[in-house]
Structure formats: C-alpha cells, structure tokens
Structure 1
Amino acid sequence: MKRFHIALAVRDLDESIIDYSARLGQPPAAVVPGAYAMWRTDLLNFSINQSPSRVGELRHVGFEDDEAPEYASSTDCNGLLWEAFSAAEQDRRIVSTYGVAVRNA
C-alpha cells in the first residue's frame, strides 16, 4: 500500500489530537505523549509533532510505501523536503526520534 504523508508542527499535541481525530474520523494509530501523533488512513499517513515555535508549519511531505527498500529523502525544486519510507521504517524512526509510542488497534 502507498499512502501520501504529511507532517505538521502543532502548538498543543493533546488539543491537536482531538481536532485531527474528528477531521479524520479516527483516533491516531500511535501517540508519544507530549511529542508526536500519527494517523494511518487508507490513503493518508498524517503526523504531527508538538513544536510551538513552528506551529502550523509544514515539516515535510512524502510517501509511506510498503515496497520502499529503505528510508530516503530529497528536496524538491521549491525547497520542500520529501520522504519515502515503509511503515516499519517509520515505526523505528518514531521510537528513535520521540520515544516509544502508545498504539491504537
């Protein structure tokens, strides 16, 4: 499966989880309290991280792709960072960057 990935910086993680869960119609698939949340829908991989100094900023975009052999990133002609990764690789990076996530079934 291939999902489009969007990553945003938010002011308040808990408030944002409530808002985006309502907008996406489901709770996040993973949460690192006080730091990070991620949703996986059929078409979208959407993540947020608490970063009050960068609130509302698009951090990066890309694709979660089960066939991606490894994590890769590049910058497009507009200076936007694009990432490509498998779900397993993203899960590893969540732990190494933010800590162990609470998982929702």
Structure 2
Amino acid sequence: MKRMHIHLAVENLDQNIAFYSTIFGCPPTVQHEDYAKWMLDDPRVNFAISNRSKQLGLDHLGIQAENEQELQSLKQQLDATQTPIEAQEGAACCYARSDKYWITDPQGIAWESFHSLTEIPTFNDQKAASDGENPFACRPSEDKQSSCCG
C-alpha cells in the first residue's frame, strides 16, 4: 500500500519536532540533527521536516511505494500526465537510498514518487546516481533553488 509523503523545510528543527510530535501523538520514527521523519499509519503518511533549505515551508510532496511494482505503477501514472519526468536510481537523500521519479505539477510543486531501498548514515552523499548537475538527488535538477539537500 502506498503512503503519502510530505516534506517541509523548517527553521527551528527542535521546536518543530516538539510541535509535530504533539500533533501526531508520537515522537519521530527517524531523527537526526538536521532531519526528522514520522512514518504514520493513521493517516498513512511519511511526514518529514529538515532545516537544510533556504526557503521555508513546503519543500515537496510525494508518494512512497512499498515495492518496485508499486513504483512502476506510479511511473505509468506519471507518464500519462505527459509532463517531463526525472528518473533517479539509487539516489541518496534524507538518510535513505531510493529509486525515484520526479515530476513538477502545474503550480510548480515538485512531486517525488519513490521506493526506499535502504537506510544510509548520512543525509546524502555525492556517490548518488545522478546527472552530475544535481549530485544530491533530493530534487529534480531543474529546481535547484530550494533543494532539500541545500
């Protein structure tokens, strides 16, 4: 079953962790000095915050697939929009290595469809599979101003 993904850029991570932990009734599932994530089941959402972006607020939205088959189904839906798609294999971002497809909606909001493969010990790494212009693979290459990886 797929999971909605929301990533917000925040200024004060500790203050926001306290706020969202209260709203969700639980502490983050993953927490680092620059990032926190709640993997909630009710509602089924992957909600993440980080303090790595210069622009505060909505960083990006997405849909997290549980497996490769779900990701390929999402890819077919993205293809149907006839909008350019950026594919990333083994991308390192947000303490995970994932296969991803990025698309931008008509309002300019980045949408990430992804399947996480494994956790990694750093927010990102320069060895991520990418096009060289976007070495951290956290956002589509055409949107470099507010990347979650700064």
1:41 to 2:70 alignment: no
Q: What percentage of residue pairs aligned between the two structures are identical?
A: 34
Are positions 1:86 and 2:115 aligned together? yes
For residues 88 and 24 of structure 1, do their structure 2 counterparts lie closer, same or farther at Cα, with a shift above 3 Å needed?
A: farther
Letter in structure 1 aligned against 2:11: R
Deviations 1:10-68 (A, max 9, x none): 111111101001111111111111x111110011100001147423x100001111122
Q: How does 1:16-35 map to 2 (within 5 A)?
A: 16-33=16-33, 35=34
Larger radius of gyration: 2
User: Unaligned stretches of 5+ in structure 1?
Assistant: 99-105
Partner amino acid for 2:28?
P
- CA contact under 8 A between 1:12 and 1:52: conserved in structure 2? no
Unaligned runs of at least 5 residues, structure 2:
73-98, 126-150
Q: Following superposition of structure 1 onto structure 2, how do residues 1-105 of structure 1 map, counting pairs within 5 Å?
A: 1-33=1-33, 35-42=34-41, 43-51=44-52, 53-55=54-56, 57-67=57-67, 68=71, 70-88=99-117, 91-92=119-120, 95-97=122-124
- TM-fit CA distance, 1:87: 3.5
CA displacement, residues 55-98 of structure 1 (integer Å, 9 cap, x when unaligned): 3x100001111122621111111111000112436x34x73428
Distance 1:63 1:77, change over 3 A: same
Moved over 3 A (4+): none
Letter aligned with residue 32 of structure 2: V
User: More relative contact order in 1 or in 2 (CA 8 Å, sep 6+)?
Assistant: 1
- Superposition CA RMSD, Å: 2.1
- Count, aligned residues: 94
Higher helix share: 1
